[in-house]
Amino acid sequence: MKKQHTWRLLLSILLTMSIAGCKHDVPEPIVTDEPTDPTDPTGPGSGKCDPNVVYFQRDVLPVLVSNCAISGCHDATTRQDGVQLTDYASVMRTAEIEPGDPEDSELYERITEDDPEDRMPLAPRAPLSSAQIALIRKWIEQGAKDLTCTDNTACNTTNVTFSGTIKPIFSKYCTGCHSGAAPTGGINLTIYDHAAGVAKSGRLVGAVTHAAGFEPMPQGGAKLPACEINQIKAWVDAGAPNN
């Protein structure tokens, strides 16, 4: 009787140890920079964007709108597989995000999937860039919150170049649709000639300022921030140079 009891005790100790051992095997999420408390009066909302924080509205949503919330994919009408990636509430409701745990989040698994048949965006669309993937990972690690921030720092519209200013704007907001072999509307914004073409015809500024008579861009997304619009205008006004 006593012996059995000892055995049971030993077994339960071993079990506890192995469970504890398992827990330790789970890799801690890699948080490279400590996020700031969003309610901090000196943090977001103070007019300064914390460089260590990923802001959903500013950083993540434009990438999802451009690459995923496309007609026929995950826009509000198609909702392929029930997944809608048009806004924060829909993303959290349908994309199986586990705040703090990117590896367990369906959205992150799909954008990092090796198999091109399962990877999102689906081939022949290009995968997200490693910078975009890292951004989404960090957003989930930081709790997948709905943070916004508006920077009061001055907008630089004087040293605007195609390579340094305009292309990064396009790749964040536009090239999910406007790139590849069959770009939307025949406009491939990764190619200078296409960009210059829509710039010189007035269609680029018309589209991003949501002027009457143009298709409002980015399609399905919010208007670009004023700074980006002003930078695009500055580049167009300068003759849309290939600099």
Q: Which residues in this chain contact ligand HEC in the complex, by CB under 6 A?
A: 65-66, 70, 173-174, 176-178, 184-185, 187, 198, 203-204, 207-208, 214-215, 217-220, 224
The least distance separating ligand HEC from the CB of residue 46, rounded to whole angstroms, comes to 28
Taking the C-alpha atoms of residue 91 and residue 100, their distance in angstroms, rounded to an integer, is 15
The least distance separating ligand HEC from the CB of residue 167, rounded to whole angstroms, comes to 11
Q: Which of 226, 223, 53 is nearest to 153 (CA)?
A: 226
Residues 6+ apart with CB under 8 A from 117: 123
Tally Cβ neighbours within 10 Å of residue 166. Answer: 25
In terms of Cβ atoms closer than 10 Å to its own Cβ (0-12, 13-18, 19+), residue 111 is buried
CB nearer ligand HEC, residue 95 or residue 207: 207
The least distance separating ligand HEC from the CB of residue 168, rounded to whole angstroms, comes to 11
CB nearer ligand HEC, residue 63 or residue 107: 63
CB nearer ligand HEC, residue 81 or residue 104: 81
- Name the residue whose CB lies closest to ligand HEC: 174
Question: What does R_g of the chain's alpha carbons equal in angstroms?
Answer: 23
Is residue 172 within 8 Å of 183, Cβ to Cβ? no
In terms of Cβ atoms closer than 10 Å to its own Cβ (0-12, 13-18, 19+), residue 1 is exposed
CB nearer ligand HEC, residue 36 or residue 161: 161
The least distance separating ligand HEC from the CB of residue 142, rounded to whole angstroms, comes to 25
CB nearer ligand HEC, residue 53 or residue 70: 70
The least distance separating ligand HEC from the CB of residue 242, rounded to whole angstroms, comes to 17
Mark residue 161 as left, alpha or beta (left: phi above 0; alpha: psi -120 to 50; beta: remaining): beta
The least distance separating ligand HEC from the CB of residue 154, rounded to whole angstroms, comes to 22
For the record, the structure tokens of 101 come out as 């745990």
Is residue 111 within 8 Å of 119, Cβ to Cβ? yes
The least distance separating ligand HEC from the CB of residue 43, rounded to whole angstroms, comes to 28
CB nearer ligand HEC, residue 140 or residue 204: 204
Q: How far is CA 22 from CA 50, 98, 141, in A?
A: 35, 20, 21
CB nearer ligand HEC, residue 132 or residue 142: 132
Q: Residue for token digits 């995000």?
A: 97
